[in-house]
Structure 1
Amino acid sequence: MPPVPLSVLDLIPIAAGSTARQALRNTIDLAQHAERAGYQRYWFAEHHLNPGVAGSSPAVEIALVAAATNTIRLGSAGVQLAHRTALSTVEEFGLIDALHPGRLDLGLGRSGPQLVKERAQHPPTPAQDAPRTAPNGLPLPKPKRLDAAAVLAAPRLAATFALLQQPGAQPPDYGQQVDDILALLNGSHRAEDGVDVHAVPGEGADVQVWILGSSGGQSATIAGSRGLRFAANYHVSPATVLDAVDAYRAAFTPSAVLDRPHVAVSADVVVAEDDRTARRLAAGYPAWVRSIRRLEGAIPFPSPEQAAELTWTEEDRELVADRVATQFVGSPATVAARLRQLQEATGADELVITTITHDHQDRVRSYQLLAEEWYRN
């Protein structure tokens, strides 16, 4: 039986000492290498006010990379709907589809102050609130508890929301936004007064709609109930990945676009010729995660030498322990074995790989080595 397809998730990371301009050039180069290596999709995340991440506009990034590639599918992982409208989202992707038809994935995500508040006050938790493993041994660490007051008072988050949203703006219900996007794409949308509404460009665009989720909450159930594809974030919330895919499958109802559940699962990965080299290339990852967990925004990704000089407290180590334990680092054979374990535990139809290293060529090489190993077996 052939292995499930591999795809790429790119945050457009900025290496320490580099620039956003170089990070974008690196992304175009990596996408071209990924296409030649056989990766199925190339997805862009959306983040704002992060010193070490240049990926702020998936639609713009998709358009730039589409012009530099030929066959690889391109998508968002995902568009943050809390500060966007259904119409603007459909029109943007429709515009790209007009020149690059049949290559786009429209991944939709929840975001904004309402979601942050909800997760801080009622964090998603698995059935067992303790470290555990899947039946096949996949690690499922204890979920991280956020300090609700600290999250809501974080200056960077407050500034982000204030700058992204119009004053007093309140995003509609997420499920309603998804329904509006689907209706605009298929031409069935009706305004409140009954007037036909047609998105041009956008209506009839040949895009795959995905929902992204980290838990068994609203995103998973909306994806299932609408019969859409679902992407679960093991790399963001490893503790709740099984709950997310289970909730999606439980809610799944066949649709015009999908007759059975379809799941992609993401993983943080660094591959090198041997385990020791891979661990050195991944040395900056704990500090990078620490900056995110401290609500400071992702720092420029440190070099192995810079990472070795950083100081750590036990509190710091605990803060990032779940992400470090579930980053797949090693030789091609080592990482491929762990990815097969992830695929088996989740029943994933696809795996989405996100890799960050300080040196761009190490990152390119990581994806190349993994693809060679994965598709050889």
Structure 2
Amino acid sequence: MPVPLSILDLAPLVSGGDVTDALRRTLDLARRAEQFGYHRYWVAEHHFTPGVASSQPALLLGQIAAVTDRIRLGSGAVQTGFQTALSIVEQFGLLDALHPGRFDLGLGRSGQAKKEALRLRAEEKPQEERVVDGLLIPKPFSWAPIFASKRTAFAGGFLHQPGAEPLGLTEILDQIDALLAGPVTDDEGNEVVAVPGAGADLEVWLLGSSGGESARTAGARGLPFAANYHVAPAKVLEAAEAYRESFVPTAARPRPHLMVSADVLVAEDDETARRLAQPFALWVRSIRTGLGAVPFPSIEEAARFEWTDQDRALVADRVTTQFVGSPQTVAERLETLRRVTGADELLITTIAHDHADRVRSYELLAKEWSV
């Protein structure tokens, strides 16, 4: 049997649409995803992004759970630098209380927490584009200028209480584990219990875009791990290797479980898919220029944009690693990704200007993959 396919949704706005439209599309897509046989439906957490409506995963997941019956739901990922462990546990504990046993608590570090990692990465030897057993591994993109920008600093002021210092990944995981196991006591016997939250049936995941702290921590704690080929394709093999090398078996998880993400767009034939995918490069450019993703452009808007060589270089790694084509074409490329990374599951993210095209992409892929 092929490995399971899951979905990562950003609740994207499209040009000419609004937030309400984007959220209604997400609810419709989640219902369809369940019908198509997808294993999980995850939603992202992004802030100050004009083209993304998924800013509060727990709130959105509650709405999705109400219109679906059995598909697993989760966050991809809650940004741990912006919340306390208690707020995270209470939010997902509430979801589990209302819809028991359906939720994945996917966790990731916030952008601010990655600054030191980015500094260290900048000191690494430059990586050239290469092909590994059929899988393209492009040159890495550096987020350092964006994280160092005044806009990022300004936005960060709204994401933290004044003077607050986010916990490190290990520390917040320790607190989350303790609160989920609950009650929590101190040395003097004082006791606190997260209500809801204590005893919640959640599957905790870590997400990461390199072989750094997130991958190693997931392995050391025996957690499942999701590696990004769609956000950071240059580092996906490094992330997978670091996770497996550091994995420590537990009673709950005796073997590592790796999920790998991919940008995908499927249509009835390769030519149609390439046409529908034309706005993707312009959308990625808006992210890479540091202003946040714009509402997803139409094909006509994308065709009018005048590209420079600098623009094309800015988005090259994302464009060349997007899997675009007929169901057969994309399934073959996904199988290569699965084989080279050793993924136990694939996480698909698809954006198109027309909602019907987006739904159709997921439907066609699910049918082909099941074969």
Quick check: 204-213 or 139-148, which moved more? Answer: 139-148
* 2:274 equivalent to 1:279: yes
Partners in 1 of 2:337 and 2:111 — Cα distance?
A: 30
Partners in 1 of 2:335 and 2:96 — Cα distance?
A: 33
Residue 136 of structure 2 corresponds to 139
Look up the SS of the partner of 2:32 in the other structure: helix
> Which amino acid is 2:230 matched to?
H
Contact 2:296–2:353 (Cα < 8 Å) also in 1: yes
CA spacing shift, 1:124–1:106, aligned 2, 3 Å: farther
Residue 264 of structure 1 corresponds to 259
Look up the SS of the partner of 2:3 in the other structure: coil
Contact 1:41–1:75 (Cα < 8 Å) also in 2: yes
Look up the SS of the partner of 2:361 in the other structure: helix
Residue 322 of structure 1 corresponds to 317
Q: Give TM-score scaled by structure 2 length.
A: 0.97
The unaligned stretches of length 5 or more in structure 2 are: none
* Shift in Å, 1:188: 6.0
Identity of aligned residues (%): 57
Contact 2:52–2:293 (Cα < 8 Å) also in 1: yes
* 2:91 equivalent to 1:92: yes
Partners in 2 of 1:313 and 1:119 — Cα distance?
A: 30
Contact 1:71–1:103 (Cα < 8 Å) also in 2: yes
Partners in 1 of 2:157 and 2:107 — Cα distance?
A: 21
Residue 19 of structure 2 corresponds to 20
* Shift in Å, 1:112: 3.7
Partners in 2 of 1:166 and 1:105 — Cα distance?
A: 27
Counterparts of 1:201-240 in structure 2, within 5 Å, are: 201-240=196-235
- The alignment of Structure 1 onto Structure 2 pairs a total of residues equal to 371
Q: Select 2:289's aligned residue among 275, 291, 294.
A: 294
Contact 2:279–2:299 (Cα < 8 Å) also in 1: yes
> Which amino acid is 1:76 matched to?
S
Contact 1:125–1:240 (Cα < 8 Å) also in 2: no
Contact 2:111–2:147 (Cα < 8 Å) also in 1: no
* 2:125 equivalent to 1:130: no
Q: Give TM-score scaled by structure 1 length.
A: 0.95
* Shift in Å, 1:321: 0.3
Residue 148 of structure 2 corresponds to 152
Q: Select 1:121's aligned residue among 84, 98, 119.
A: 119
Residue 110 of structure 2 corresponds to 111
Deviation by residue 1:164-192 (Cα, 9 ceiling, x = unmatched): 11011110111110121112112264446
Residue 79 of structure 2 corresponds to 80
> Which amino acid is 1:106 matched to?
L
The unaligned stretches of length 5 or more in structure 1 are: none
* 2:340 equivalent to 1:341: no
Partners in 1 of 2:339 and 2:331 — Cα distance?
A: 12
* Shift in Å, 1:257: 2.1
* Shift in Å, 1:327: 0.2
Contact 2:7–2:38 (Cα < 8 Å) also in 1: yes
Deviation by residue 1:285-304 (Cα, 9 ceiling, x = unmatched): 11111111110110000011
> Which amino acid is 2:175 matched to?
D
Residue 60 of structure 2 corresponds to 61
* Shift in Å, 1:50: 0.7
